[in-house]
Amino acid sequence: MFDTSRLTRFLPPRMQSQIDAYFEAFEVLLSVKDPKVLGALGPSGVRGLLLHRGKQGTPTDMPAAHTAHFNWSYPSDQPEMADLYRRAKVGQWNGDDLPWNTSVDPLDPERPLIPEEFLSFEYIEELGIKLDKEERAELGYSMCAWMLSQFLHGEQGALFAAAQVTEAVQFFDGKLYGATQVMDEGRHVEVFNRYLDTKLNKLYQINDNLFVIIDSLMTDGRWDMKFLGMQIMVEGLALGAFSTLYKQTKEPLLKELLKMVIQDEARHVHYGVCALREHFTKHLTARERQEREDWAFEVALLMRNRFAAYEVYEEWFEGRMTRAEWRNVVYRSKGMEEFRTVMFSRLVPNLREIGLLSSRIMPRYEEVGLMRYFGGLAADKLTAETLLSDLD
């Protein structure tokens, strides 16, 4: 990306960051090649990236218009979804039963929230910024609280999206299953919020890129776009992110919380693959499928390139390094690299499975280094047990 710091270095740090953020936003919007995709993502991009609607400190109202689909004959139409519904009922759990009496010290070196090497301090030192032991632990605490805050905001989006999709989807077994997902997402909001509020005492604002994605799928009336956005993209990536954090954290309550959430999320992504495979391969025209394919690619890029924890940068380093330098620190850090690898190794096979990785789009994934994940297992072949045993 264009480094604005040479042009803006004589301006105050806050203004430098603003200009870098604007350039980044324009770059995102200009990179969208398909006009229909731009139509779907553009207004959300303006609201999220330029107007920072998620950061005004006030609630956000998003107009949502979709068609509620009723079926008065109650067909058993999708055995795979009916099976997921049965499993979801049995798999319900109570957030109150997590070991909340665990005392959590976010700076405890014996039980770190994330490993010290999560961020590569040598890159920060190269910029002439030296952090002592306490500051490193504090920064790790900030990064972990930032990630969990984004999970929480994502879960709020998932709760509303699951409710909308339950109304709109045409599969009757999917509606029953969807009711369990609404409950699951409500519980996820509850437990992440409780953890942040009572254990970490910290909440970061929603990241602008995540806001764009949520805004875009909330305001899109087509159920399958909501589904693609939430069940495949956001949840697929979240599942990867939860697993990475589950593996890396030494804090026992957080580990247990993530373990429970991962088991639910595995069902959600499975449902997404199952519903969209049916819909994309049987019910869409080639043009409609292509639009979804392009949209998914742009969203994948939004997520790959832009999740740079700028909110942590503003708190810690604004004025001490440029936003572009921070981006570099994040991209080169081992922990973040592992995050990206796990996230995309979960997402890409799902896109393949639902028919959104045709030979037309493959070169673009190749270009950005994402094709190496093509051969992995999709969510319908991955059980929660395999997911967790991979991680133990």
Beta strands in 242-285 (DSSP E): none
Contact criterion met (CB below 8 Å) for 99 and 252: yes
The CA distances from residue 179 to 174, 183, 348, in Å, are 9, 7, 27
Q: Read off the DSSP letter of residue 198.
A: I
CB of 69 to Fe ion, least distance (A): 21
CB of 158 to Fe ion, least distance (A): 5
Contact criterion met (CB below 8 Å) for 348 and 233: no
CB of 106 to Fe ion, least distance (A): 23
Instruction: Decide whether 268 or 270 has the Cβ nearer to Fe ion.
Output: 268
* DSSP H or E segment with residue 40: helix 35-45
| Nearest-5° Cα angle at 27, 25 to 31 | 125
CB of 183 to Fe ion, least distance (A): 11
Q: What are phi and psi of 57, to 5 degrees?
A: 75, 10
Instruction: Decide whether 41 or 189 has the Cβ nearer to Fe ion.
Output: 189
Instruction: Decide whether 49 or 347 has the Cβ nearer to Fe ion.
Output: 347
Instruction: Decide whether 155 or 298 has the Cβ nearer to Fe ion.
Output: 155
CB of 156 to Fe ion, least distance (A): 10
The CA distances from residue 354 to 227, 229, 232, 271, 358, in Å, are 12, 13, 10, 11, 10
Instruction: Decide whether 265 or 325 has the Cβ nearer to Fe ion.
Output: 265
Separation between Cα atoms, residue 342 and residue 3, nearest integer Å: 28
> Which candidate, 137, 103, 125, places its Cα nearest to that of 332?
125
- Distance between start and end Cα atoms, the chain: 37
Contact criterion met (CB below 8 Å) for 49 and 27: no
CB of 152 to Fe ion, least distance (A): 10
CB of 235 to Fe ion, least distance (A): 5
The residues of the shown chain that bind Fe ion, judged by CB under 5 A, are 155, 158, 185, 188, 235, 265, 268
> Which candidate, 256, 251, 243, 274, places its Cα nearest to that of 389?
243
Instruction: Decide whether 192 or 317 has the Cβ nearer to Fe ion.
Output: 192
CB of 255 to Fe ion, least distance (A): 17
Residues 6+ apart with CB under 8 A from 203: 145, 149, 152, 196, 197
Instruction: Decide whether 215 or 235 has the Cβ nearer to Fe ion.
Output: 235
For tokens 């992504």, the residue is 269
- Region of 74 please: left (phi>0), alpha (psi -120 to 50) or beta: left
Q: Read off the DSSP letter of residue 321.
A: B
CB of 51 to Fe ion, least distance (A): 27
Q: 3-state class of 10 per DSSP?
A: coil
What sign for the dihedral angle of Cα 135, 140, 145, 150?
A: positive
Instruction: Decide whether 137 or 228 has the Cβ nearer to Fe ion.
Output: 228
CB of 323 to Fe ion, least distance (A): 30
Instruction: Decide whether 154 or 335 has the Cβ nearer to Fe ion.
Output: 154
Instruction: Decide whether 153 or 188 has the Cβ nearer to Fe ion.
Output: 188
